[in-house]
Structure 1
Amino acid sequence: MKMRTLVAILPPLALAGCSLAPRTDLPPPPVPQSWPVGDAYLMQSEAALPVISYSDIFRDPALRALVELALANNRDLRVAAANVAAARAQARATRAELFPEITVGGSVEHTDRSGAEPETSYAVSGGVSSFELDLFGKLANASEAERNRALATEAAARAVRLGLVADLVNAWAGYAADRDLLIIAEETAANARDSVRLTRARLEGGVAPRTDLRQAEQILASAEGDIARQKTALAQDENLVRLLVGSEFDTKLLPTDMGQVVGNTEVLPAGTNSQVLLRRPDIVQAEYLLRAANADIGAARAALFPSISLTGLLGFASDALATLFDSAAFSKTIGGAASLAIFDGGKRSANIVAAQADRDAALANYEGAIQNAFREVADALADQGTVGDRLKAAQAYREAAADNAMLADARYRGGVDSYLANLDAQRSLFAARQAEVAVQLEMVRNRVTLYRVLGGDQASPAN
């Protein structure tokens, strides 16, 4: 009898785990194998992008301290970590459906009827309740789909972490740029005050016209307006850093000038092989969602086949506690059931079509993510290839403007030129100094952009 039972059970068990899901074959990346080349691009000699950390690119100790605070306290990162924990738990819960649920229980029943002897009965039982044999991979594919969705959630969390580091560095650099612009405005205002005093004295002495005084006062008023705006910008920059960090921080960790920022931000090598894009968190997320969609097809296909379940119950029942566990009180029950819907109005077939459509959409999203990533990296490389030349040009322009302003001021004081020439020279110098700071900020932000679009470091906030 036992042998016949074993022979009857073995074939279904052998079939269990058979998957009807299509194999996930990732298409070749729909982008060129290497980055663009040309006048706008730097020559790239690295064969592949090394695995790096933010600390390899952003070397300032104060910035690193702020990043560590942000990784510990930022609320968006906490939400991402919670989402990862929830996704992992959901994957474990779905996988548990593959295993039988074993329950135990006990009961005592006492009956006291009028005119009859009281009766007490005892029972202890344990068994398997409706364990479904996964003959066609429905449960296995559902578990695989949830596992891949959990991995996609982890990749999304890495994207949040990567974005947080990049946003914090940009905010930190923005503070330095606004601080430099404030210094420029203050120095311009100081020079304008000297010019106002000089032109007023020359006006009172009958040497200069009233227009010279008014023009000097215009420069002073413009510089004072810039001072007020830059103070507001600095306060807002500090507020942004505080938001990204997620807590109060020592303001001494903020940079003093753009020189500190540029000198402590390294250039990230891009490599010649565009395959490095496949490690970007958003592309990894799209890949796992594609795999999950494939598994959903297998689960939908398996729903077309019969559902077979087994039940079993072992227990003891007795009317006396002392004899509860005697062999005579032992009982067992084993059963099985199979069900198959013969008509559902096309629901299960429609579910397969819907799952296939979801897979096609996931495939398109995966390829689209790669194409978008390629464009972002190519744009950043084009910017990197020319930003150095733009900075050199801005520095040369500022040096020439400074020399011209000095000569124009000397010629005005010597009575050779009108104040209008001096005014134009001062305005040109002011604009040139602002332009130099702007290009320095562009250079830093380009390096941050490359760090972000090439995938940055691979640590997960949930680990």
Structure 2
Amino acid sequence: MADKYLSLPSRRAASSAALAAALVLAGCSMAPTYERPAAPVPATFPDTPVVDVTPTPAPTGAAAVDVAWQDFFTDPRLAGLINVALENNRDLRVAIKNIEVAQAQFRITRSAQLPNLGLSAGGQRARPAPLVGGVYESDYVNVGISAWELDFFGRIQSLKDAALAQYLATEEARKTVQTSLIASVANGWLKIIADEEILDITRQTLATREEGLKLMKMRFDNGVISEVDLRLSESLTESARASFAQAQRLRMQDENALALLLGAPVPESAIKGGARGLDATAPMPDVPAGLPSDLLANRPDVRSAEQQLLAANANIGAARANFFPRISLTAYLGTASGELSGLFESGSKAWSFAPSLVMPIFDAGANQARLDTAWANRDIAVAQYEKSVQSAFREVADALAARATLGEQLRALRATANAEQKRFDLSVLRYRNGVENALDLQDAQRSLFTAQLAATQTRLDQLQSQVLLYKALGGGWASR
């Protein structure tokens, strides 16, 4: 309301004063104009046609980043483990605390743009030279601003921009940790399910070979077979027993690894899912690969690398500003008196206004060295950003290659295992009827065991490749 009574010159003067104040607070940035580096990867992912040989859910049509992890990992056993990990994992806790540290550091840097108002009080008692005699007394109480830097050249603004970018990079790093954690829990869980399946195969194989060894001993004792056949059967049985012990060890070690990710013991109910093993797990939906440029917006690790680059770019502005004068302001308003009793009496008012300017003249090249360091750090950040883009591209390309080929590989290996099962069954009949020798039977048994293990491992690889593709495309940190 009061503005309408100001004359035109007064309004212009007020506007000029406001503009000058804004310039003092904001300063002028000396940081280089930021331009995102060109992505050093092809414009499209490698052409890897998908061979549709196994039933898969219909594509969701949504990008991986838009698919919450609860909608991707739909098996309730796995979802429960992921929730436990998000609550208890220590690496994720550290990442969250790092965000708090970066946020506090940003607030500290930002506070330098505004004056700090403080209260100071003090007094002095001193005896002058002996010839003067008496006691000198001085007391004061002041409220004022101490050494507030007027940011004409944008040094503090650049430092604030760098701190903000570091904070945002830390937040993206937290998302990266969460994405990796969820994918690791999923892969660890799938590995244990596969371990259970391998244990069943190995247990059955060991039982079959122990039964075969008993039969061989009976036939050897009756002079039907030679000792060579008996020793071969013993060798295969002990080999199966060693494989069973190895499978047990790997199963326990994989459970220990998953417990470390969870930060808690693995519930037994999360492992048992019926005799079908990996095939009993709930399916994961397909997600479209999109274009490599999508990784720049979807991958938190790529965004974190870009924020680090922005911070390095802002630090150049701060280093450039070191070549220009620093203007600081100290001002106090209060009371002062030669006696404590008269400190708040009339006529005791006191004030102080002390601007200062520091102009660098000779610093033995320190400012230039700081600027050179800032430029070098920027170049390092560019290389790290480009490397993060290349790594993301490679991960997606690998996952797409796996999706295109593992289905056919699994189909072929399962067909092989079925054929080897029939061959083994026929070999048992032929051996019992005296048509086939022990060597052929043992060979059929070995081939069946190898084919079954290969099929299980390939099914695990197929499921883990789906997890990798979801993670590589930027999924896993969104939740619902």
Fold match by TM threshold 0.5: yes
Residue pair 1:175, 1:255 contacting (<8 A) in 2 also = no
1:20-419 matches, cutoff 5 A:
20-39=30-49, 48-107=63-122, 123-256=140-273, 259-262=276-279, 263-278=281-296, 279-318=298-337, 324-419=343-438
Residue pair 2:64, 2:470 contacting (<8 A) in 1 also = no
CA distance in 1, matches of 2:29, 2:290: 39
Structure-2 change in CA distance of 1:48 and 1:162 (3 Å):
closer
TM-score if structure 2 supplies the norm length?
A: 0.87
Counterpart secondary structure, 2:119: strand
**Aligned residue-pair number:** 456
TM-score if structure 1 supplies the norm length?
A: 0.90
RMSD (CA atoms): 3.0
CA distance in 2, matches of 1:364, 1:28: 11
CA distance in 1, matches of 2:70, 2:15: 62
Counterpart secondary structure, 1:328: coil
CA distance in 1, matches of 2:216, 2:51: 50
**Cα deviations across residues 377-426 of structure 1 (Å, max 9, x unaligned)?**
11110111111111111110111010110011001111111111111111
Which range moves more in the overlay, 331-340 or 5-14? 5-14
Structure-2 change in CA distance of 1:201 and 1:137 (3 Å):
same
Residue pair 1:255, 1:261 contacting (<8 A) in 2 also = no
Structure-2 change in CA distance of 1:259 and 1:324 (3 Å):
farther
1:426 match:
445
CA distance in 2, matches of 1:306, 1:109: 35
1:444 match:
463
Which range moves more in the overlay, 71-80 or 343-352? 343-352
- Aligned residue type for 1:296: N
Which range moves more in the overlay, 190-199 or 373-382? 190-199
Q: Structure 2: 5+ residue runs without aligned partners?
A: 1-9, 53-58
CA distance in 2, matches of 1:57, 1:47: 11
Q: Structure 1: 5+ residue runs without aligned partners?
A: none
CA distance in 2, matches of 1:117, 1:299: 53
- Aligned residue type for 1:89: A
Structure-2 change in CA distance of 1:228 and 1:7 (3 Å):
closer
Residue pair 1:174, 1:237 contacting (<8 A) in 2 also = yes
Structure-2 change in CA distance of 1:78 and 1:37 (3 Å):
same
Residue pair 2:31, 2:316 contacting (<8 A) in 1 also = yes
Residue pair 1:13, 1:135 contacting (<8 A) in 2 also = no
In the TM superposition, residue 216 of structure 1 has moved relative to its aligned partner by 2.2
Residue pair 1:179, 1:257 contacting (<8 A) in 2 also = no
Residue pair 2:399, 2:469 contacting (<8 A) in 1 also = yes
Which range moves more in the overlay, 132-141 or 440-449? 440-449
Counterpart secondary structure, 2:383: helix
2:21 maps to 1:13: yes
Residue pair 2:287, 2:470 contacting (<8 A) in 1 also = no
CA distance in 2, matches of 1:334, 1:148: 36
**Cα deviations across residues 419-440 of structure 1 (Å, max 9, x unaligned)?**
1111111111111111111101
CA distance in 2, matches of 1:60, 1:382: 25
Residue pair 1:47, 1:271 contacting (<8 A) in 2 also = no
CA distance in 1, matches of 2:203, 2:358: 83
Residue pair 1:106, 1:124 contacting (<8 A) in 2 also = yes
